[in-house]
Amino acid sequence: MASKEEKSLPNVYSVVLVVNHSGPLAEDVIKNIRQKSPTEDVLTLKEDPKSQGYLHHIVTKYFETDLLFVPIDTPLESCPQHLISNAEAVLICFDATKRDFLKYIPKYANFLKNHQIELGILLCEQLCDESDGITYQEAKQCSKELDVIELSVSGDSDEETDEHNPTGYDELHQALKSFLWASADVTKVYHHSHPYTPLDLQNDDIDDEDVATSLQEDKESTQETHNMSEDQITAELANYERLLSEVMQFRSTTSTWSRNERLTYAHQFANLFDEILNIDSYDDSEADKSPDK
C-alpha cells in the first residue's frame, strides 16, 4: 500500500474517532497503537481533504479487520457527518488532573448513544487520587458505558506484567481486539488455522506429507459425520443455528454491559465455536505473526 493516498471512505474499514480533548495527543495515541511511522498507511479522504485516516490491521483468533483511526478536535459535534455515520468507536483523550472534564463525560456518552456508536473509551496518561484530580470511580459514575484506560503504568509499581490483566496500551489493544467490528472477516483467519485444501496440492512449496495428513484428518472427520444419526445431526444443526442467532444479537444484548462483561460473554461464544468447528487453540500473539494481506 502506498504511504499516502486519497480515497472515499470505504465500507471495508471500521472508523475509530480519536478525540483531542486534553491530555495525550490523539496523533501520539494512534502512533503508539499502530507502532508505525505517521506517514505509513495514511489515507486522505476525498469527502474532507483536511481529514486523514491511519490504517491499523488487527488479527485475532476469530477474525481480522482494518481499523481507520481518525484524529479530530473538539467539539465532537463539529466532526464531518460522513465520519460520524461510519464510526464504530470513539477514543477520548483527556487530562485526569483537570476535574472540569467530569462534566463532559455524560455529553460524550450521550453522543455515542444518539449516534449508535457502541464502543467508547476514555484515555488518560494516569488517573489521580481524589485530592489531585479525576479518579476511576468518579469517571465511571459519570458514565457506565464509557470505559477508562490509563496509558501510562505507574513508575512506582514493581509488579510484574500480568498477561491476564493488561495495562496501558496492552489493555487498549485488548479492548480493540475484543470488540465485534462490522468489517470483521472471519474467513481469512479460518484459512490461517486450516491451511490445506485440495487446491493446495498444486502448490509445490507445501510439504506433501503435511497435505496428506490434513486430508486424512478431513476424511476421518467426514466419516464421523456420516456415522451420526439423523437426530444427532439435526440436534447439532439446531445448536449451531441457535449460536449464530445469539451472535447476531450480541450487540443489542450487551449494549449496556461493561467491557469486561462483554468480553466474558464473547469468550463463551468463542469456546462454543471451538467445540463445534474443532478449531485448535490459537492465541492472539500467534495471530499477530500472521502474514499481511
pLDDT digits (tens, 9 = 90+) for 51-106: 789 999 988 877 888 999 999 988 888 888 888 988 999 999 999 999 999 999 99
Q: How confident is the model at residue 219 (pLDDT cuts 50, 70, 90)?
A: low
Residue 196 has pLDDT above 50, yes or no: no
**Residue 150: pLDDT over 80:** yes
Q: pLDDT at residue 133 above 80?
A: yes
pLDDT: is 190 or 127 the higher one?
A: 127
Evaluate if residue 166 carries a pLDDT over 50.
yes
Percent of the residues in the chain that have a pLDDT greater than 70, as a whole number: 64
pLDDT of 204 higher than 50: no
Which percentage of the chain shows pLDDT scores above 90?
32
- What average pLDDT does the structure give for the chain? 75
Mean per-residue pLDDT for 20-32? 92
Is the pTM here over 0.75, yes or no?
no
Return the pLDDT at 43.
87
pLDDT reported for residue 258? 67
- pLDDT exceeds cutoff 90 at 134: yes
Overall average pLDDT of the 218-224 stretch: 53
Please compute the mean of the pLDDT values over residues 164-179 and round it to a whole number: 87
Amino acid at 4: K
Ranges 7-11, 103-107, 206-210: which has the least confidence: 206-210
pLDDT reported for residue 158:
46
64, HSE (Cβ side, Cα atoms, 13 Å) = 19
- Indicate if the pLDDT at residue 3 is higher than 90: no
Residue 10: is its pLDDT beyond 70? Answer: no
Q: What mean pLDDT comes out for the span 106-116?
A: 94
Tell me how crowded residue 78 is: count the other CB atoms within 10 A of its CB.
Answer: 8
pLDDT in tens, 253-272: 776 676 667 777 777 777 77
Q: What is the predicted pLDDT for the residue at 11? A: 60
Give mean pLDDT, residues 229-234.
74
How does strand 64-73 pair with strand 42-45? unpaired
Q: What is the mean pLDDT of residues 213-226?
A: 52
Look at residue 139 and tell me whether its pLDDT is greater than 80: yes
- Beta-strand relationship, 52-59 and 42-45: antiparallel
- Predicted confidence band at 167 (pLDDT cuts at 50, 70, 90)? confident
Which DSSP string do the residues of the chain spell out, in sequence order? --SEEEE---TTEEEEEEEESSSS-HHHHHHHHHTS-TTSSEEEETT-TT-EEEEEEEE-SS-EEEEEEEEEESPGGGS-HHHHHHEEEEEEE--TT-GGGGGGHHHHHHHHHHTT--EEEEEES----TTTS--HHHHHHH-SSSEEEESS--TT--PPP-TTS--HHHHHHHHHHHS--TT-B-HHHHHHHS---GGGGG-TTS-HHHHHHHHHHHHHHHHHHHHS-HHHHHHHHHHHHHHHHHHHTHHHHHTTS-HHHHHHHHHHHHHHHHHHHTPPP--HHHHTTSPP-
- pLDDT at residue 129 in the model: 81
